[in-house]
């Protein structure tokens, strides 16, 4: 049975698409190739646009391919499609919880992150912010892969 995860940030051009790309590879590395990973934004400003060029540059520099991404906006009925909906920060968590309680913070899967840790929005900063997002996304993706593997054990 396919397991489905949706990662959500504000505009779906920085954090959540970076997390989508990294999580897909992490899951494949853990032999979880049948997990579907998607991303979206709570806002619709960037719908149809590619990933932010700075996010794409950081991913590319680290051997990831995010070139096919196009931004989408999360819709209430998507909760029925996904086993797990994960917000990048508390603002998006609140927006999603107005639709459903079935949502968590993405970094809650990083065993070394403090409780309530967020993936900060790098949009208004420089390249170092995107590098930090990548580090945080990698750590949470490892923890999430372990969680999914355990959830799927008979």
Domains and CATH numbers, the chain: 3-151 (3.40.50.2300)
State yes or no: is 135 an active-site residue: no
Residue 5's nearest CA partner among 14, 13, 21 is 21
Per annotation, catalytic residue among 6, 14, 15, 54: 15
State yes or no: is 9 an active-site residue: yes
pTM over 0.95? The answer is yes
pLDDT at site 152: 83
Per annotation, catalytic residue among 9, 14, 54, 89: 9
pLDDT by 10s per residue, the chain, length 154: 799 999 999 999 999 999 999 999 999 999 999 999 999 999 999 999 999 999 999 999 999 999 999 999 999 999 999 999 999 999 999 999 999 999 999 999 999 999 999 999 999 999 999 999 999 999 999 999 999 999 988 7
Q: Where are the beta strands (DSSP E) in the chain?
A: 3-9, 35-41, 84-87, 104-105
pLDDT at site 103: 98
Report yes or no: 42 and 76 within 8 Å, Cβ to Cβ.
Answer: no
pLDDT at site 147: 98
| Residue 56 parent element (H or E) | helix 53-61
State yes or no: is 121 an active-site residue: yes
């Amino acid at each position: 049975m396919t397991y489905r995860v949706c990662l959500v940030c504000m505009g779906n051009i920085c954090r959540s698409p970076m997390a989508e790309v990294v999580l897909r590879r992490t899951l494949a590395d853990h032999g979880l190739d049948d997990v579907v990973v998607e991303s979206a934004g709570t806002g619709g400003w960037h719908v149809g646009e590619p990933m932010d060029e700075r996010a794409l540059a950081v991913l590319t520099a680290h051997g990831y391919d995010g070139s096919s991404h196009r931004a989408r906006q999360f819709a209430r009925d998507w909760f029925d499609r996904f086993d797990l909906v994960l917000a990048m920060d508390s603002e998006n968590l609140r927006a999603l919880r107005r639709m459903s309680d079935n949502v968590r913070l993405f970094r809650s899967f990083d065993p070394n992150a403090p409780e309530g840790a967020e993936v900060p929005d790098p949009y208004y900063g420089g390249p170092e912010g995107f590098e930090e997002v990548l580090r945080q996304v990698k750590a949470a993706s490892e923890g999430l892969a372990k969680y999914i593997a355990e959830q799927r054990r008979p």
